[in-house]
Amino acid sequence: MATTASNTATGTASDPAAKLLEVRDLHVEFRTRDGVAKAVNGVDYAVDAGETLAVLGESGSGKSVTAQAVMGILDIPPGRITSGEILFQGKDLLKLKEDERRKIRGAGMAMIFQDALSSLNPVLSVGDQLGEMFVVHRGMSRKDARAKAVELMDRVRIPAAKERVTQYPHQFSGGMRQRIMIAMAMALEPSLIIADEPTTALDVTVQAQVMELLAELQRELHMGLILITHDLGVVADVADTIAVMYAGRIVEKAPVHEIYKAPAHPYTKGLLESIPRLDQKGQDLFAIKGLPPNLMNIPPGCAFNPRCPMAQDVCRTDVPSLARVTYEGLTAERRSACHFWKETLRG
């Protein structure tokens, strides 16, 4: 596979025992005139080849900032990684020089951004933007790179690719632009794809088509996939594991079927109950009360306690660890950062 070649080219030593990607105790903060915003507060997660990890949470929970830190595209300053490790195939990316990180981006790992129109260059044709990957990383001629761009557009099912390769981003629909972003990320067949809200602003039918395309390409190339979203409905059929984030921390982590069956954190339960259901016509839609915390002033104890219907005194003073959940009927490894996860499961 091309993935093996890219690993050699980037100098990333593959460790057969290592996960494809491991994020360990990652902390990221933003220093502003108003104070220090603690955007990521000790995130741990891992993903392996062929596995899909969905990272869920409201806006401001730290999902995208964690992904940007992994990709090495965090704005520094004002952002700053204060501690932690990001291991890609056993090698800590945070210890690499920028030119070494640049070689890994695209060839080893790639990212699909949520706003395709803003992410694509409006003054370059889509063919030039797709072909650039092959010119920079593979040393191809412009002519050969253009031919590869047509192949990629065909691969992501853009009609009349040969004729449309010279067109510009504004000449494509939102769904087609997202397919171009997927083609760009897939160009060098990386080992890992990070998809940041890839279906935002798309209608339901196009959302399903985009997710089906991602899943198909992942199976074909046996990639790891990190899917960042706020929509539990989007990930139900594609994710293997779900990590739920709140105020820069992972508050629950579980296999997808277990988390839908019985959430072990009140925040996860609230997200699930907020999804409209066809069998509950005429009823008020549930909403989690309050707002996410100001990251410059995160509440003491459990950050979710001001919004949590189960909060007690201990929740306002002690930060719960992401502990192993063991309960009758559970069949898989899962964790929850809640003092009262047993009560949440029973409820």
Task: Write out residues in the chain with pLDDT < 50, as ranges.
Answer: 1-13
Domains of the chain, CATH where assigned: 2-7+18-239 (3.40.50.300), 245-346 (no CATH)
Residue 165 in contact with residue 148, Cβ under 8 Å? no
What local confidence, expressed as pLDDT, does residue 306 receive?
95
pLDDT on residue 174: 84
Question: What is the SS3 assignment for the chain?
Answer: CHHHHHHHHHCCCCCCCCCCEEEEEEEEEEEECCEEEEEEEEEEEEECCCCEEEEECCCCCCHHHHHHHHHCCCCCCCEEEEEEEEEECCEEHHHCCHHHHHHHECCCEEEECCCHHHHCCCCCCHHHHHHHHHHHHHCCCHHHHHHHHHHHHHHCCCCCHHHHCCCCHHHCCHHHHHHHHHHHHHCCCCCEEEEECCCCCCCHHHHHHHHHHHHHHHHHHCCEEEEEECCHHHHCCCCCEEEEEECCEEEEEEEHHHHHHCCCCHHHHHHHHCCCCHHHCCCCCCCCCCCCCCCCCCCCCCCCHHHCCCCCHHHHCCCCCCEECCCCCCCCCCEECCCCHHHHHHC
pLDDT (0 to 100) of residue 5:
38
Q: 22-26 long-range contacts, Cβ below 8 Å, gap at least 24?
A: 22/46, 22/85, 22/86, 22/87, 23/66, 23/70, 23/84, 23/85, 23/86, 23/87, 24/84, 24/85, 24/86, 24/87, 25/83, 25/84, 25/85, 26/66, 26/69, 26/81, 26/83, 26/84, 26/85, 26/86
Q: What is the pLDDT of residue 45?
A: 94
Rounded to two decimals, what is the model's pTM?
0.87
Mean pLDDT of the chain: 87
Residue 242 is encoded by which pair of tokens? Answer: 């779900």
Cis peptide before 263 (omega within 30 of 0): no
**Which residues, 6+ apart, have CB-to-CB distance to 323 below 8 Å?**
335, 336, 337, 341
Question: Would you state the pLDDT for residue 269?
Answer: 92
